[in-house]
Amino acid sequence: MSGNLNGVQAHVFKAAPTAIYVHCSSHSLNLVLNSCCSVSEIRNMFGIVKKTINFINDSIKRTEILERHLTEAGSTSLKLQTFCETRFTERHEALVLFQNNYAIIVSSIEKILQLPDRKTVDKARSLLHALTDSSLIVSLCCAKKVKRLTLPLSRGLQTVNKDLINALEGVTHVKNTLKSWRSEVDEWHDECYEPYSIAEDLARSVDAEIRLPRIASRQGHRSNVPAKNTDEYFKRSIWFPFLDSVIESLETRFTDHSLLVQKIIALIPSEIKDSNWEDILDSAKIYADLLAISDEEEIKNEYFDWKEFCSGLSKSDNPSSPLEALDIIPGRFNYIKNLLLILCTVSVTTRTAERSFSAMKILQNYLRNRMTDERLTGLALLYIHPDVDIDIDQVINKFAHGKKRKIDFAL
């Protein structure tokens, strides 16, 4: 899709040279959260959790053991949710479900150790040893805290009418919050809601203890940071590297989005007071042919006229988004209106298009392989837009009188 030589991006550029390729914001966030696995402890934790879930769900006997323990504990869910490779929301829910039932899962694996199957027992013993490891417990709590912060952003980026400016505001909020966690000591030592405190509670629930691993003077294959005590070691080896990885990835993957917004955001009435002509000069040059600008002075004069018009607006009538600005812009500001339209047309997410393709896979199966394009289009519209009300009488009338029939069609 994004190949600049033979991908869809290259074909679009041939038809529209002024088009700007911006990666889907929701996919960018998913890549950000995947890149956090560059921290070895976080990566190993995800791998062990995934293996544990698959190990239990792949056997009816092992699943029944877990369900029995969950029922005795009064849990509302009776099955572990598998990790989805593409949908971050489902991955977060699977991780939360796993942590909430961590002690029950460990006790279920201890019960599986009593089964007669030697191969199953060996695998269960290795998983039990990994699940009670201090690094895994701390990594699990750290990942859950960060993913709890990014979950609302992930859901917001998948909404249909999401504005690019609002999307980047959400990204900025997450990034600033992570930086504050990086600098504040209380985020690590809070007694109730912070990673290390929760990790200690999880360890106690399975009769384990958060222990400081052996630190050698020459160690290059695992974390070997100097520390005075256990909580300082895990803060330096897992918590800080994890936060740094996510912050750096957010800044890298959302740079194109930020640069695009910074070019035209100066035209929005709520921002134009603190901007200058030089802020949108690059945008005017890029889209000069598209806007049919014959002289730079024309759009420059229109910009200052628009800025004076916005300065006369009251605070209640001062739009903060390009869509709101288009509702109040007079007809004489043709260049400014077109630049705002360009900003509005930049896609935040490709969720709608991708779900349309997912609907096609469901609709066009081997039983419907001979239907026409008109029928496929109708079924797709019904499936993709279930909220649209349909007049049944109008449908009956269309099919009743659309063809010549020997007998009148009636309901």
CA-CA distance, 50 to 28, in Å (whole number)? 23
| Of residues 392, 347, 409, the one with CA closest to residue 26 | 347
Distance in angstroms (rounded) separating the CA atoms of residues 329 and 326? 5
Q: pLDDT at position 125, please? A: 92
Mean pLDDT (whole number) for 123-150: 89
Segment of 81-90, 346-355, 379-388 carrying the highest mean pLDDT: 379-388
pLDDT recorded at residue 275: 77
The model's confidence at residue 35, banded by pLDDT at 50, 70 and 90, is low
Tens digit of pLDDT for each residue in 261-282? 666 777 788 777 777 777 777 7
Cα(174)–Cα(29) distance, integer angstroms: 11
Q: pLDDT higher for 190 or 308?
A: 308
pLDDT at position 299 is: 82
**Whole-number pLDDT of residue 352:** 65
Residue 218 near residue 199, CB atoms below 8 Å: no
Among 185-189, 247-251, 310-314, 396-400, the minimum mean pLDDT is found in: 185-189
Alpha helices in 113-223 (DSSP H): 118-131, 134-157, 164-183, 186-189, 195-205
Q: Which residue would you say has higher pLDDT here, 323 or 142?
A: 142
Which residue's structure tokens are 């030589």? 5
Residue 358 or residue 308, greater confidence:
308
Ramachandran angles phi, psi of 152, nearest 5°: -60, -35
Q: Between these two residues, 321 and 263, which has the higher pLDDT value?
A: 321
- Residue 52: predicted pLDDT: 92
Of the listed ranges 57-61, 114-118, 190-194, 376-380, the one predicted with least confidence:
190-194
d(CA 261, CA 73): 51
With a cut of 90, say whether residue 152 has pLDDT above it: no
Residue scoring higher pLDDT (210 or 294): 210
Banded model confidence at residue 257, pLDDT cuts 50, 70, 90 = low
Q: With 80 as the cut, is the pLDDT of residue 193 above it?
A: no
pLDDT band at 163 (very low <50, low <70, confident <90, very high): low
pLDDT on residue 186: 60
Residue with tokens 């520390």: 227
Return the pLDDT at 318. Answer: 77
Name the pTM for this structure.
0.71
Mean pLDDT (the chain, rounded)? 80
Answer for the pair 148, 209: CB distance below 8 angstroms, yes or no: no
State the pLDDT at residue 274: 74
26 pLDDT above the threshold of 80: no
pLDDT at 164: 67
The string of pLDDT tens digits covering residues 172-189 is: 888 888 888 887 666 666
Element (H, E) at 44: helix 40-57
pLDDT at position 348 is: 65
Q: Using 50, 70 and 90 to split pLDDT, how confident is the model at 409?
A: low
- % of residues, the chain, pLDDT over 90: 7
Summarize the confidence of residues 49-77 as an average pLDDT. Answer: 87
